[in-house]
A and B are shown apart, each in its own frame.
Chain A
Amino acid sequence: MKSSSFPTPAATADAPSRDARSLAALVGFGFALFVVVALVAIASGQYPLTPAQVARGLWHGVAGGGAPALADEVLWQIRLPRIALASLVGVALGAAGAAFQHLFRNPLVAPDTLGVSSGAALGAVLAIFAGAGAFTTGVTAFAAGIAAVLLVTLLAARIRAHDRTLTLVLIGVVVASLCGAAISLVKFVADPYNQLPAITFWLMGSLAAASWPQVASVAPVIVVGLAVLAALSWRVNLLALPEDEARALGANVARLRATVIGAATLATAASVAVCGIVGWVGLVVPHMARLVAGPDFSRLLPVAALFGAIFMLAIDTLARTVTPIDLPPGVLTAFVGTPLFLVLLARRST
């Protein structure tokens, strides 16, 4: 046996990249990138703003004064709330995706594995069918998303199985498919001239109606979800082990898992409620984050959240600038996400 004398060039080369300083550098770089993307997003759109207009507008908004200008309106009432909302959604999906991938010990799951998106979609579709306004639709979607996950976890708890995470995933699939069938049924009977287009647009997802009240209504929910994940971040690592191992190490796995599912679901449900179903972000972003930050959740969480914001903001900016009409961001995330995911799968170093 020679393990004490193993040559470990990889070890020494790897070590400095994994300490706290490198995390700070990584987060710093990510934040700088985010600011750049945000500045591009502020300036671009159907009414392009010059850097001077952006600077002046930001100054007017913060310090007050200045003559009311169209540029200021565009900046503060259209661009900034949309940027804030896109970033929040990205943060939520990136963080929730990372949490779920740990929880299920599987890098191929997404935040909606337990049915939150399908439940929210069914809630929204029913609300639209009932003639509800945008706000009620959002609230219904949020509540239905959480209800779907509750249903999945309660059903899973009633089934006695050795592999509880697999049971959760399978019941998630079942409930999601049931919601899908119900959505089809509602679409089938909905008024084809008003309701059906509204339903279809909601399902494709959009950030076009972003407003400050919307930001204010989802931000606290997402912040709470993330705060819980951040507080538990080191312990979440134990969920990436087989359940017996985690329990033998002293973790209360049932409680920890329920808490993480709850926190990640809150964040996901809030983001689905304001912008509809945006796939791929919660799947691809945690992958990219793990590539650079490693799997330790206390390092992974901030990086996944930041990357999520950058990814979602970049996608939404593209979605509203490449064509004269707003493309649904969910369509673009799929177009960008699928090839990216294939590349990541091919590398598969995490």
Chain B
Amino acid sequence: MLAARELAFGFPSREVGRGVDFALARGETLAILGANGAGKTTLLRTLLGLLAPRAGRVDVDGVSVASLSDTERAKRIAYVPQQDVPAYAFTVDESVAMGRAAHLGVFARPGDADREAVREALGRLDIAALAARRVTELSGGERQLVMIARALAQRAPVLILDEPTANLDFGHRARVLAELDRLRNAGMTIVFATHEPEHALAHADRALLLADGRPLALDAPDLALTAANIERLYATRVRLVHVEGRRYACVPE
């Protein structure tokens, strides 16, 4: 569904990373981990087609992302960016409806089918009650759910999230991660960047560890996220305690 082939990524004047190579099937989740500045966001922007690859390619559904128009790309890949303060007090309804842009002509505005898609997206995340609230009045956790709802309204099979649990309280973190599990089980292909090894271990099918833009490991989370690798990634000694099933506690020593 989403594949990176011999990908080198960065800006026209500066390479950030290279050597990223993976293929995700429908319903698979990839977690990307790395220290601050390791190139996670730049890699995500490249996977989204917002930055041109410096070498290699990104394919979605067997088609090169670079060959797609803005709207065609947006129908295939949806994006939940890092939390940002909204510039204007749009309502939740209006914000989520913007997810329909790729399905609408330049001069069009949302119609019944789009409003239905918005309702469905809000319903799936159980936040229909927020529909008329303004995004500026929401808590960070609520706003993150709204951003995910907007991406769902986009009806793209691939979802890319940049640190979806950053700055959220404990409860909202669990809630967002549970939603990601549900979406994966419903067949979505998901890539998310995270700073929490535990989240990758419990909620991803594969983990990509980026150190200085290069893959340090790319494997099943329990194989990639060894204590040794985590130590190399964050330059901190850690102990990995198995709790149950895929749940681990990662504690600094």
Contacts and interface: CB of A to CB of B under 8 A. Distances in A.
A237 B129 contact: no
A180 to B, nearest CB: 29
Interface stretch (A79-87, A293-301, A329-337): A293-301
Given A3-B126, A237-B94, A250-B71, A15 B109 contact: no
Contacts of B7: none
A163 interface: no
B126 A4 contact: yes
Contacts of B171: 1
Interface string A56-77: 0000000000000000000000
Interface stretch (A115-123, A141-149, A238-246, A273-281): A238-246
B192 interface: no
Interface stretch (B79-87, B201-209, B219-227): B79-87
Contacts of B106: 232, 235, 256
B22 interface: no
B88 A1 contact: no
B77 A248 contact: yes
Contact of B129 (A8, A241, A247, A250): A8
Contacts of A343: none
B70 A250 contact: yes
Nearest to B142: A3
A11 B101 contact: no
Interface in A76-133: 102, 105-107
A295 B133 CA distance: 13
A151 interface: no
B133 A249 contact: no
A247 B142 CA distance: 23
Contacts of A248: 48, 50, 74, 77-79, 81
Contacts of B130: 3, 6, 8, 11
Given A3-B145, A237-B94, A244-B45, A250 B127 contact: no
Given A160-B12, A251-B70, A295-B89, A18 B132 contact: yes
Contacts of B133: 8, 10-11, 14
Interface residues of B, number: 50
Contacts of B142: 3, 6
A246 to B, nearest CB: 8
Interface string A215-228: 00000000000000
Contact of B98 (A3, A242, A249, A252): A249
B250 interface: no
Contacts of A252: 70
Contact of B91 (A14, A107, A238, A241): A14
A96 B126 CA distance: 39
B73 interface: yes
A231 B108 CA distance: 8
Q: Which of B90, B127, B174 has the most CB of A within 10 A?
A: B90
B87 A11 contact: no
A187 to B, nearest CB: 38
22 contacts: A1-B174, A8-B132, A8-B133, A11-B129, A14-B134, A18-B132, A107-B88, A233-B109, A234-B109, A234-B110, A235-B106, A240-B90, A244-B45, A248-B74, A249-B79, A249-B99, A250-B70, A250-B75, A250-B154, A251-B70, A252-B70, A295-B94
Which 8 A-B pairs rank lowest in CB-CB distance, beginning with the nearest?
A250-B102, A250-B74, A295-B88, A248-B79, A234-B109, A105-B87, A11-B132, A15-B132
Interface of A: 1, 3-6, 8, 10-12, 14-15, 18, 102, 105-107, 160, 231-235, 237-238, 240-242, 244-245, 247-252, 256, 290, 294-296, 298, 349-350
